[in-house]
C-alpha cells in the first residue's frame, strides 16, 4: 500500500503538470491516442516477458514522434490519429489473446492496478517524474508561449518543431506511467479532467498548474484510501472523484454567473 501511495503521488504530480499543457494545446485526443498505442506496445512486450511499462513507453513515444511529424496544422489530424490508434488497439487485442500468462496483466494495463506495484516500478516512476519536471522547468516559458500563440512564436524564430516534439515525448512518458494507476482506458481522468477543472478556476498558468496537481493528488489519495476499504477498482474511484469535482466547479461557476446576471437585471 505504501508503494501505491508513493507511485500514486508521483503520477498525480506529473499528470497534473502535463495535463495542463495537454488541455492548453487541445491535445486531449492525442493524449488518449498515446495510451491506446502504448497499450499495443505493452501487450506486445508482455508476450516477451518484459515489463509492460517498457512497451507503453516505446509505443507511446513512437506514436508521439509520428504525430509530431504530422505537424500541428495537418488537416484531418483527428482522423489520421484515430485510424492509427484503432489499428494499434486491434494489435493490442491480438497480443492479449495470445498471452497465456496471468489474466490480471491485461486487466491491469486497461484499468490500472496500482495496489500491486513493485518497489522497482516506484523507483522507475520517480526517475520519470524527475525527468518530466526538470524538462518542463526548462522549456516552461517557450512551451507556454508557443502553445498560446503559434504564429507569433514562429515569427519570433522559436524552435517550434523541437518544442512540439519535446511536448509529445513528455506526454508519452506521463501517459505511460499514469497507466499504472488509472489504466489505458481511463487515462483522461488524470491527464485531462484535473487540468480542465484547474484551467476553469485560474487565469494564470502557474496557478492553474498547481490546482491541476492538487486535484490529481486529492483524487488519487482519496481513491487509494477508499479502495483500501472497498473492493472496487482504485481507478473507478479516482475517475468518479475528478468527474464530481469538475461538475461541482462548473455548477458553482454557473450559479455565480447567474447571480451576477440577476443582479444586473434588477
Judged by phi (left if over 0) then psi (alpha if -120 to 50, else beta), residue 76 lies in left
Scan for cell 483500501, then name that residue: 228
CA–CA gap between residue 61 and residue 165 (Å, rounded): 10
Q: For residue 114, what is the DSSP state?
A: G
Query: Distance of CA 190 to CAs 20, 35, 141, 205, 232, Å?
Result: 11, 12, 23, 18, 18
Residue among 75 and 155 whose Cβ is closer to another protein: 155
CA–CA gap between residue 165 and residue 160 (Å, rounded): 8
183 touches 229 (CB < 8 A): no
To another protein, the closest distance from the beta carbon of 145 in angstroms equals 3
Judged by phi (left if over 0) then psi (alpha if -120 to 50, else beta), residue 149 lies in beta
Residue among 54 and 202 whose Cβ is closer to another protein: 202
- Of the candidates 213, 215, 235, which has an alpha carbon nearest to the alpha carbon of residue 224? 235
Helices and strands counted in the chain (H then E): 12, 0
Residue among 67 and 196 whose Cβ is closer to another protein: 196
- Of the candidates 12, 33, 30, which has an alpha carbon nearest to the alpha carbon of residue 167? 30
Query: What cell does 243 get?
Result: 468527474
Phi, psi of 150 (to 5 degrees): -60, -45
To another protein, the closest distance from the beta carbon of 142 in angstroms equals 6
Residue among 141 and 262 whose Cβ is closer to another protein: 141
Residues near another protein (CB under 8 A) are 24, 26, 137-142, 144-146, 148-149, 151-158, 199-200, 202-206, 208
Residue among 204 and 263 whose Cβ is closer to another protein: 204
Residue among 117 and 143 whose Cβ is closer to another protein: 143
To another protein, the closest distance from the beta carbon of 27 in angstroms equals 13
To another protein, the closest distance from the beta carbon of 259 in angstroms equals 17
Residue among 180 and 212 whose Cβ is closer to another protein: 212
To another protein, the closest distance from the beta carbon of 208 in angstroms equals 8
Amino acid at each position: 500500500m505504501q508503494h501505491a501511495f508513493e507511485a500514486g503521488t508521483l503520477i498525480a504530480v506529473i499528470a497534473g503538470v502535463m495535463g495542463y499543457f495537454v488541455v492548453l494545446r487541445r491535445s486531449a485526443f492525442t493524449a488518449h491516442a498515446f495510451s491506446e498505442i502504448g497499450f499495443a506496445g505493452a501487450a506486445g512486450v508482455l508476450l516477451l516477458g518484459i515489463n509492460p511499462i517498457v512497451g507503453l513507453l516505446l509505443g507511446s513515444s513512437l506514436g508521439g514522434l509520428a504525430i509530431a511529424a504530422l505537424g500541428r496544422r495537418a488537416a484531418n489530424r483527428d482522423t489520421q490519429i484515430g485510424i492509427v490508434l484503432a489499428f494499434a488497439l486491434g494489435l493490442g487485442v491480438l497480443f492479449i489473446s495470445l498471452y497465456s500468462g496471468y489474466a490480471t496483466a491485461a486487466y491491469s494495463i486497461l484499468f490500472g492496478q496500482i495496489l500491486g506495484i513493485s518497489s522497482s516500478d516506484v523507483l522507475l516512476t520517480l526517475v520519470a517524474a524527475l525527468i518530466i519536471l526538470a524538462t518542463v522547468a526548462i522549456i516552461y516559458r517557450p512551451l507556454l508561449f508557443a502553445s498560446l500563440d503559434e504564429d507569433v512564436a514562429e515569427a519570433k524564430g522559436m524552435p517550434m518543431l523541437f518544442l512540439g516534439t519535446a511536448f509529445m515525448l513528455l506526454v508519452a512518458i506521463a501517459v505511460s506511467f499514469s497507466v499504472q494507476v488509472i489504466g489505458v482506458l481511463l487515462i483522461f481522468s488524470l491527464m485531462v479532467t484535473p487540468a480542465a477543472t484547474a484551467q476553469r478556476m485560474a487565469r494564470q498558468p502557474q496557478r492553474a498548474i498547481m490546482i491541476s496537481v492538487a486535484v490529481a493528488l486529492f483524487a488519487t489519495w482519496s481513491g487509494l484510501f477508499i479502495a483500501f476499504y472497498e473492493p472496487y477498482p482504485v481507478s473507478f474511484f479516482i475517475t468518479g472523484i475528478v468527474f464530481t469535482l469538475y461538475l461541482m466547479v462548473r455548477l458553482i461557476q454557473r450559479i455565480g454567473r447567474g447571480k451576477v446576471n440577476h443582479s444586473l437585471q434588477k
